[in-house]
Structures are given as structure tokens and as C-alpha cells.
Amino acid sequence: MLKLKSMIACLIIFAFVISGCSNSSSSASEEGSLKIGYVGGLSGATASFGIPTFEAVEYAIKEINDNGGINGKTVELVKEDDEGNPFKGQQAIDKFANDEIHYVISGSSSAVALSQVAKVKQNNMIAVSPVASDPKVVSDDPYFFVNLANNNQFGWSAAYYAANEMDEKEMIAFVRDDAYGTSILKAFKEKYEENGGKIVKEFKYPVDAKDFNSYISQGMSQYPNATIFATGYAADTGLIAKQARAIGYDKPIVATNPISNPQYLEIAGDATNNTILSSAYISDVSVGEETKKFIETWKSEFDIEPNVYQIHGYDAVNILKTAIESADSFDTEKVQQELLKIKDYVGASGVTSFNSDGSSTKPIYMIKWENKELKLEKTLEPGSY
Amino acid sequence: MYLDIFISGLAVGCIYSLIAMSYSLIFRSSGVLNIGTGEFVMIGGLVGYSVISSISTNYFVSILIGMVIAGVVGYLANTLVFHPIQKRGGQDVHVLIASIGIMISLPQIGALIWGAEPLSFPSNISQGQVNVGATQISGMSFLIIVLSFVIMIAFQLFFRFTRFGQAMRAIADDRIMSQLLGINNHKYIALIFLIAGGLTGVAGVLLAPIYYASYDMGTIGIKAFAAAVVGGFGNVTGAVIGGILLGLIEAFGGTMISSQFRDLILYVILIAVMLFRPTGILGIKQRRDTA
């Protein structure tokens, strides 16, 4: 009799566990709260954008909770550090899945995000990334959304602007030898040649390169009329600018989104002058009312202007909130459908519309470093380049 | 065009030479293979940055103070780590492990003090140009070459013509015999660590305006170590030749063959050199006291 009772008790516990698991895709929350996971580089090489993104996500969630939460539930933020390592990025998603967390903001680099995409889908989760700009991160039937313009948009817009507005028809490309650098070059080259420009020389360099003097000398001697195009991040492009100006290069430097990072100015100093870049954001109130509002709030809170990662991180949380509220449910399938319906969402980073693959269509701001400040040159709307 | 490439290769080569000289000096005199030598570059660069950004805007003052502090850290490395290990019967492998410890811990200490972000020297230091014939070259590259050659020549003169230098050469040639002749080995070896740290520190302050100062800039030591080996490990003149050769191969290999495979080209050539001359270009004979 005792044995039978024990068996019944075990069966009840088993049934309880099973029923708990089967509810996992509808809600990741404890009663009264909704857990959202944040994964990104909180230490290591990608911390330069992983930390600012986290700060904005944390701020957005605090703001949401102050205003009643999402669908009446308080949001609880759980963070994981991927250290810029794809393996750790994957582990963080596994951990979230085990903890019944179904909504994730991924502040991981493209390389790490690529390793997370399949895991997110497999666990029936929804992730929004304000950082991963590699076009390969998104795919059909998306569970991983990106609310930042992608590398194609950055490359195409820079090429279009250089060829048509700056009338620079020859470029020497300094190509960072990683996924970001090569995908930017591919997009830039495609659009630049279409617009009558020519890449006359390509220098592909390893990600830890610091000495560009010999390449710059060779490029300048062989192609004195060519302009420098850099596909790298702030640190390496900062060195290219600094070393190029040191040997008398005075033409523009064309680059893309990461060069808006203040680290570029830190490294290159006055050599940043006349650097033109395609960016996802500029801290300029003329961009829109929501942007202006966010800049002012952020400045009053932290006494510093928000950067590109913070503004997109803030939007990522609010876009997710909008989709959950529109779905009026925590069911990830329903929220996915609502995210796909997001069109012309006006947020702090401007207007966002999701495409069917989870990528977003955004305006690109052509901005210029001049006298240690970033200035808006022109806004390129989607479809204009 | 070739002159531009030659100058930039020579400038980086001179930096390698200064660091390679330190490797050779230390190894030849004390038998210590101090893998952490490159980290004194970081000490020099970061101290130089602190000086120029908060004490004096004179670049030469930052070189001087960077050199002194890196020298003191070198001296302490020997006094607090290498010498006690050797004195207590530690073998080469134990000393090597200690030097790996220095290589790992110094950058972390650097990051704790100065942070992990790159720190840039004022741009006026690196932005001047010098005309060499019809070619315009970077003033900073020119300064690196001139200063490095001055330092290297001064060292040769110091070793040949001063009492200190001769004592150090005696220790380098035969530690036991020099001790029998009344030379205080410990004192001179400590001095060599001081000088070697200073040399590497200068390399750091010279390098930082072209790149930037950061806690991880000591990784350049790996290439300088290769330069020291190619030049003939333990031979100071060989270290100078090895460093310059490395800089030039890098510059011409990267521009004339492939920028993407610059390091691959460099190390293939270095391996080829080692195959023909396994002891390096100016390979030294085995020390008399270890024969």
C-alpha cells in the first residue's frame, strides 16, 4: 500500500514537472514578473559596446517598471557575460532556456550572435539585437530580430555618398580581416562600382594590426588621387587615420558605423578631421522628437550624451514591449508575428521597420568628424542609395 | 615609394631591436630567458602617457621618466623574483615559469592602474613630417630611427670603453671566471636588468605615439624575441640586426607580397634563416662556464 502511495506521489510530481515544461513557450515569468535576459560582452574586447548596450537596456526596463511593466507584469532583468566568445554566447542562451526565460536582448557582437540564432529558435525564444549588424544573423521565419541597420546598408550608403556626393572615384581600402570588415567591403565595393568608383588597392590586415605605415606609403605613392576607405573598428581605423595624417595624407577618410565611437577620437585626435562615415545614429536633435526626448532624458540621468549602442539598446527593449503588448500575450509565437508587423516604429534611434527576415530598414546618417565633434552631413532614407 | 616603405620598416625594426637587445643582454649575463621582457614596453608606454598628460608636455621628459620607471621595474623583477629563485637552486624551467608569471601579471596590473582603454599621446607629437629628398616621411618614424641608433651606439661604446661595461661583458662571457676575478656578479646582473628594463621602456615611449599606450602593448615582445633569436640569441649586435631585418621583412613582405599574410611571410622567412643558421645570424659560441 505504501509502495502504491509512493508511486502515485511520484506520478503527481512528474505530471507537475511536465505541465510546467509544456507552458514554457507561453510565458517565462514567475507570477507577477516577466524575466528578460541580456547577453553581451560585459568584459573583454566587445565590452566597449556590450556594456553601453546593457546600461540602456537596464535603463529602459527601469522606465517600463516605473510605468506599470508589460501587460501588468514587472520586468526582471537577468544578465550574462559572453566575453566576446561565441561559445559563451551560446551557453548564455542555454542558461536562459533552463531558467525559463524566453525573451532576450542580445548585445553580442555579430560573431557571437551568429552562434546564438539557432539556439534561440530551437528554444522557442525571441531575441532582439541592437548590435549585430552582420546580414547573416537574420533569416526567414525569424526569432532573432535586429533593430540596427546592417552591414550592407552601412557599406552601400557610404559608397553611394562617396561616389556621388563627395565625387571621390578612387579608393584605397583598408580591410579588417574579420566578418565585419569583409562584409562591409563587399557591400561598399558593389555599390561603389555601380556608381562609377573603383577600389584601386586593397590592404587586408589582421584584427590586431597596429602598424599601417608601409601600406599607407605604398598606397599614397601609387595612387596619389585615391581616398582612404576603412572597414575597421574605432581602434584600428584610429591608427590608420593617425598614421596617414602623419605622413601628409590630407584627403577624406571614408568609414562606417563603429567610427562614431569616441574611442576613434581618443586614438586619432586631430587626425579624425575630415572623416566621413555612414552611421546608424547621430546625437543630433534634428533627427526627431523621440530622439530629442531620449537624448535629454539620458543626459539629465547620466550627464553624458547617449551613444549608438545605448540608443538602439533602449529601442530594442521598447520594441519588444510594443510587440508583447500588441500580442496581449507572452506566447512567443504570437509575439514573433507582432514583431514582424512592426512598421514605422518611431523610437529614440529614428524610424524602424522590420523586414520579413527580422532585419530592419532604417535611415542612415552620413556624418563627419570635424574639430573633435560629429556633425550631420546628410540623412539617407531607405531606398535612396 | 620604396624609400617610404624602407623608413617605416626601419622605424618598427629599431623598436624590435631595442627590445631584442634587452632579451639578449639579460640572457647572456644571467642565463634568464625573461619571456616577460616585452611587458616593460607596456610600462614605458603607459608611464610615458601619464607623464605627458599630467606632468610635463615635453616628450623627451616622458621618454626619460618612462625609461627610468621601466628600468626600476626590471631591477625589481630580478631582485624580487629571478635572483631569489636562482639562489635557492631553481633550474632554468623554474625561472622560465616565473618569467611567464611576469608576462601575465604585469599587463593585468597595468590594466588595473591605467584601465583597459587605449590611451593616445597628444597628436602634435606624431604629426610632423620630414623631407628626405623628394619623399615626405613621418617625423616620429625619423625620431625613432635617430634615437634608437644613438642608444644602440651609446651601448656599444658603454660596453667597450667603460669599467662597468667591461665587467658586464666579462660576466656575459663567463660568470664563474668573472666571480673568481672579484667581480660582484649579483650587483652587475641587477644593473643589467635595470638597463634592459630601461631600454625596453624607451621602446614603449617611442612606440606609443604611433600606436597608442595600452595594457596589452607588450605583445610586441614576441616579435622582438624572434628578432633576438634570428640575430643570434645573447648577441647584442645580432639583436640589433635581427630587429631591423624583421621590421624590413614585415614592411616589404606586407606591401609587395600580401598584407593579409604579412606575419606568415615573416615567420616563413625567419624559419628559413634558422634552417641555414640555427644559431642565428651572429650566433654566439656556447658560454665558457656552461661548456
Answer yes or no: are the C-beta atoms of A352 and A319 closer than 8 Å: yes
Q: How many CA atoms lie within 13 A of A240 on its CB side?
A: 32
- pTM assigned to the model: 0.77
Contacts of A74 (CB under 8 A, 6+ apart): A32, A33, A34, A65
Tell me if A109 sits within 8 A of A323, measured CB to CB: no
Task: Give percent of chain B above pLDDT 70.
Answer: 97
What is the pLDDT averaged over residues B103-132?
84
Say whether A203 and B259 touch across the interface (CB within 8 A). yes
**What pLDDT was estimated at residue B288?**
52
Asked if residues A382 and A361 have their Cβ atoms less than 8 Å apart, the reply is yes
Smallest Cβ distance to A218: which of B5, B128, B137? B5
Q: What pLDDT band is residue B115 in, cutting at 50, 70 and 90? A: confident
Select the residue of B138, B210, B259 nearest A204 (Cβ to Cβ).
B259
* Chain B nearest C-alpha distance from A82 (Å): 18
Q: Between A and B, how many residue pairs show a Cβ–Cβ distance under 8 A?
A: 101
Q: Is A16 exposed, middle or buried (0-12, 13-18, 19+ CB in 10 A)?
A: exposed
Residue A246 is nearest to which of B118, B119, B138, comparing CB atoms? B138
Contacts of B259 in chain A (CB under 8 A): 203-205, 215
User: Of A190 and B182, which is predicted with more confidence?
Assistant: A190
Of the pLDDT bands very low, low, confident and very high (cuts 50, 70, 90), residue B287 is: low
pLDDT for residue A18 is more than 50? no
Residues from chain B that touch A271, judged by Cβ atoms under 8 A, are 123, 127
Whether the predicted pLDDT of B285 surpasses 60: no
C-alpha cell at B182: 672579484
* Residues of A with Cβ-Cβ distance to B210 under 8 angstroms: 211, 213, 242-243, 246
Predicted local distance difference test score (pLDDT) of residue A347? 93
Q: Which residues of A touch B139 (CB under 8 A)?
A: 246
- pLDDT over 80 at B127, yes or no: no
- Residue B12: list chain A partners with CB under 8 A: 211, 213
In the stretch 141-170 of chain B, residues with CB closer than 8 A to chain A read: 141
Q: Which residues of A touch B252 (CB under 8 A)?
A: 214
User: Which residues does chain B have within 8 Å of residue A173's beta carbon, measured at their own beta carbons?
Assistant: none
- Sequence-distant (6+) residues with CB within 8 A of A371 are A273
Question: Does residue A252 sit in helix, strand or coil?
Answer: coil
- Indicate the average pLDDT of chain B: 88
Tell me the C-alpha distance between A92 and A122, whole Å: 14
Q: Is pLDDT of A276 > 90? A: yes
Other CB atoms within a 10 A radius of the CB of residue B121 amount to 25
Mean pLDDT score, A101-129: 94
Please choose, from the candidates B191, B222, B249, B214, the residue with its C-alpha nearest in 3D space to the C-alpha of residue B19.
B222
Average pLDDT of span A246-268: 91
Q: Do B255 and A214 touch (CB under 8 A)?
A: yes
Q: Do A211 and B211 touch (CB under 8 A)?
A: yes
Calculate how close chain B gets to A51, using CA atoms only, in Å. Answer: 13
Q: What is the mean pLDDT of residues B12-20?
A: 94
pLDDT of residue A24: 41
With a pLDDT cut of 70, the percent of chain A lying above it is 91
d(CA B126, nearest CA chain A) in Å? 6
Q: How large is the average pLDDT for residues A96-104?
A: 95
End-to-end, the C-alpha distance of chain A in Å comes to 78
Residues of chain B positioned with their CB less than 8 A from the CB of A245: 123, 127
Distance of CA A151 to the CA centre of its chain: 10
Residue indicated by cell numbers 565595393: A189
Indicate if the pLDDT at residue A12 is higher than 80. no
pLDDT bucket at A334, cuts 50 / 70 / 90: very high
Angle at A61 (CA atoms; ends A56, A64), nearest 5 degrees: 125
What is the C-alpha separation between B129 and A217, in angstroms, rounded?
A: 13
Q: How large is the ipTM?
A: 0.72
Nearest by CB: A247 against B117, B120, B137:
B137
**Residue count of chain A:** 385
For residue A248, the model assigns a pLDDT of: 87
| Phi, then psi, of A327 in degrees rounded to 5 | -70, -20
Asked whether the beta carbons of residue B255 and residue A269 sit closer than 8 angstroms, the reply is no
Q: CA end-to-end span of chain B, whole Å?
A: 49
Q: Is residue B259 pLDDT above 70, yes or no?
A: yes
| Cell 545614429, residue located | A281
Residue B165 confidence (pLDDT) = 84
Residues 255-284 of B with CB under 8 A from A: 255, 258-260, 262-263
User: Are B5 and A246 inside 8 Å of each other by CB?
Assistant: no
More confident residue, B123 or A331: A331
Smallest CA–CA distance from B249 into chain A, residue: A214
Residues 6+ apart with CB under 8 A from A15: none
Of A240, A245, A179, which is closest to residue A209 (Cα–Cα)?
A240
Least confident window among A137-146, A171-180, B143-152, B250-259:
B250-259
For range A8-28, the mean pLDDT: 46
**Which residue is closest to B136 within chain A, CA to CA?**
A247
H helix or E strand, kind and range, residue A245 = helix A234-246
Residues in B 58-77 with any Cβ partner in A closer than 8 A: none
What local confidence, expressed as pLDDT, does residue A6 receive?
56
Return the SS3 of A83.
coil
Each residue of B204-242: pLDDT tens digit?
999 999 888 999 899 999 999 999 999 988 888 899 999
Q: How do residues A39-77 score in pLDDT, each as one tens digit?
A: 999 987 788 889 999 999 999 999 999 999 999 999 999
* pLDDT confidence of residue A20: 42
CB contact under 8 A, B141 and A271: no
Tell if the CB–CB gap between A206 and B210 is shorter than 8 Å. no
Report the mean per-residue pLDDT for chain A: 89
Q: Is the pLDDT of residue A368 over 90?
A: yes
Q: Cβ of B8 and A208 within 8 Å?
A: no
The pLDDT tens digits for A187-240 are 999 999 999 999 999 999 988 888 898 899 889 889 999 999 999 988 899 999
Q: Using CA atoms, how far apart are residues B201 and B179, in angstroms rounded to an integer?
A: 30
* Cell numbers placing A59: 535603463
Return the axis-axis angle of helices B220-232 and B262-276, rounded to nearest 10°: 20
CA dihedral sign of residues B268, B273, B278, B281: negative
DSSP letter string, B42-61: HHHHHHHHHHHHHT-S-HHH
Instruction: Taking residues A126-151, report their average pLDDT.
Output: 93
pLDDT at A365: 92
Greatest mean pLDDT range, A148-152, B235-239, B262-266: A148-152
Phi then psi for residue A274, to 5 deg, are: 65, 35
B138 has a pLDDT exceeding 90: no
A180 and A110 Cβ atoms separated by less than 8 Å: yes
Residues of A in contact with B250 (CB under 8 A): 211, 214
CB neighbour class for B167 (10 Å; exposed up to 12, middle 13-18, buried from 19) = buried
CB B173 within 8 A of CB B42: no
Please name the member of B138, B211, B250 whose beta carbon is closest to the beta carbon of A247: B138
Task: Please tell me the distance from the alpha carbon of residue A127 to that of residue A148, in angstroms, as a whole number.
Answer: 13
pLDDT band at A22 (very low <50, low <70, confident <90, very high): very low
Contacts of residue A117, Cβ cutoff 8 Å, sequence gap at least 6? A137, A139, A143, A144
Per-residue pLDDT tens over the stretch B62-77 = 999 999 999 999 999 9
**Inter-axis angle of helices B185-207 and B2-30, to 10 degrees?**
160
Q: Helices in A328-364 by DSSP H: which ranges?
A: 332-340
The strand pairing partners of B21, in sequence order, are none
The chain B residue lying nearest A239, using CA atoms, is: B211
User: How would you classify the pairing of strands B129-132 and B135-138?
Assistant: antiparallel
From residue B252, alpha-carbon distances to A154, A177, A213, B264 in Å are 33, 19, 11, 13
**Does B157 have pLDDT greater than 80?**
yes
Shortest alpha-carbon distance between residue A152 and chain B (Å): 23
**Distance separating alpha carbons of residues A20 and A18, to the nearest angstrom:** 5
- What are A's interface residues with B at a Cβ cutoff of 8 A? 47, 177, 203-206, 208, 210-211, 213-215, 217-218, 220-222, 235, 238-239, 242-243, 245-248, 263, 266-271
Report how far residue B108's alpha carbon sits from residue B247's, in angstroms, rounded to the nearest whole number.
28
Residues 6+ apart with CB under 8 A from A154: A133, A184, A187, A256, A257, A278, A279, A280, A364
Return the C-alpha cell found at B268: 616563413
B69 vs chain A: nearest CA distance in angstroms? Answer: 24
Sign of CA dihedral B63, B64, B68, B74: positive
Query: A268, B120: Cβ pair inside 8 Å?
Result: yes
* Grid cell for residue B231: 640575430
User: pLDDT-derived band of residue A31, with 50, 70 and 90 as boundaries?
Assistant: low
Q: Is any Cβ of chain A less than 8 angstroms from the Cβ of B12?
A: yes
Q: Up-side HSE of residue B63: CA atoms within 13 Å toward CB? A: 15
B260/A177 Cβ within 8 A: yes
Q: Which chain B residue has its CA at the smallest distance from A234's CA? A: B118
Chain B partners of A247 at a C-beta cutoff of 8 Å?
4, 129, 136-138
Q: Write the CB contacts of A63 (distance below 8 Å, at least 6 apart in sequence).
A: none
Domains and CATH numbers, chain A: 33-149+286-354 (3.40.50.2300), 152-279+365-380 (3.40.50.2300)
CB contact under 8 A, A248 and B219: no
Asked if A266 and B117 come within 8 Å (Cβ–Cβ), the reply is yes
pLDDT, position A121 = 94
